[in-house]
Structure 1
Amino acid sequence: MSRGFVKEDDQELIPIVPPRADLPDGMVNYLTPNGMDELLQEKETLLNEIETVQNTDENERRIAINYINAKLQLLNQRIASGKVVDLEKQPHDEIRFGALTSMQIGNDKKVQKYQIVGVDEANIAKAKISFISPIARILVNKKVGDVAVLKLATEDREFKILGIEY
């Protein structure tokens, strides 16, 4: 039947699902063990949401389930493409994926710590930066005592490495 013969009220809304964190094409989806656990917990939460969708209107219920299923599809792609990095096998004297790095930024005397993680677990509020971020890229392969320089439009910002943990 042509869509021209369907009442407007009968047309189902297509749910718009926000994309996951950007991972450039061809880039390996590295994850810390904790990052994979978080993705699996998110999947469990979404599966539980499907079971508890309770709308009196069948159309609203179907839209809610479609939305959750679309989120699950994106999440399942990330889980399937994920490569968990064994942090114990990282060189403990260099900054690599998963490293928790202590550093001084510029002239600031305050020591700051950031962990280099996968794109899905990156959260600056939790001091977790994505391995594809400019800061993470300049820190990789640095050792304690090294200075990494991030070139900005108006200045060069220096990051002095004080400690590395895994």
Structure 2
Amino acid sequence: MSRGFVKEDDQEEIPIVPPRAHLPEGVTNYVTPMGMDELLTEKQVLLDEKNELSIKDENERRIALNHIDAKLNLLNSRISSAKVVDLKTHPPHEIRFGASVTLKKESTKQIEKYQIVGVDEADISKGKISFISPLAKMLIHKKVGDRAILELPQKQRVYDVLEIEY
């Protein structure tokens, strides 16, 4: 039957779900143990939300369920591809995935602290940067006392590595 003879009310609404944090094709989805816990908690919250949905209108309920299912599909894909990194296996004096790093910015002498985490864990407001970010890539394999130079379009940002913690 032609779509011209279908009422608009009969069309299933496609849920618009924002994509998860970008992970380039072919890049391993590394996560910290805490990051995996956060992903699993997020999944449980969505499952609880789905089970406790109390919308009476059948059409609205179906739309809400489709939206939750779409978010769950994206999340399940990310969980299934996750590789949890055991931070205890890293050399304690070298920056690797999961490290918390204290830096001194050369230009301002300002102290900054970051943890290198997975893409889903990254939150700059909490000092958590993705392992695929330029800053994290520049810090990997550095040691206390090393100088790290972040190349920006207009200038360089120079950091001194003060401390590494796991």
TM superposition score normalised by structure 2? 0.97
Corresponding residue for residue 54 of structure 2: 54
Q: Number of residue pairs matched?
A: 166
Of stretches 66-75 and 3-12 in structure 1, the one that deviates more from structure 2 is 3-12
Q: Which amino acid aligns with 1:33?
A: P
Q: Are 1:68 and 2:91 matched, yes or no?
A: no
The 5-angstrom pairing of residues 28-39 of structure 1 reads: 28-39=28-39
**Which residue pairs with 1:129 in the alignment?**
129
CA distance in 2 between partners of 1:113 and 1:97 (Å): 14
Residue 154 of structure 1: how far off its partner (Å): 1.4
1:54 deviates by: 1.6
> Identity of aligned pairs, percent?
63
Q: TM-score under structure 1 normalisation?
A: 0.97
3-state SS in 2 of match to 1:83: strand
**What amino acid sits opposite 2:87 in the alignment?**
L
Distance 1:53 1:47 in 2: 10
Report how far residue 3 of structure 1 moved. 2.6
Q: 2-side partners of 1:32 and 1:5: how far apart?
A: 53
Q: Which amino acid aligns with 1:82?
A: A
1:101 equivalent in structure 2: 101
Q: Shift of residue 78 of structure 1?
A: 0.6
Counterpart-to-counterpart distance in 2, 1:19 and 1:106? 36
Gaps of 5+ in 1: none
Matched, 1:165 2:165: yes
Question: Which residues of structure 2 form unaligned runs of 5+?
Answer: none
Measured in 1, the distance between the counterparts of 2:83 and 2:30 equals 5
Provide Cα deviations, 1:110-135, integer angstroms capped at 9, x if missing partner: 32110000000000000000000000
Describe how 1:142-153 pairs up with structure 2 within 5 A.
142-153=142-153
Cα distance in 1 for partners of 2:70, 2:120 equals: 17
Distance (whole Å) between structure 2 residues aligned to residue 25 and residue 89 of structure 1: 26
Q: Which SS does the other structure have where 1:63 is aligned?
A: helix
Q: What secondary structure sits across from 1:88 in the alignment?
A: helix
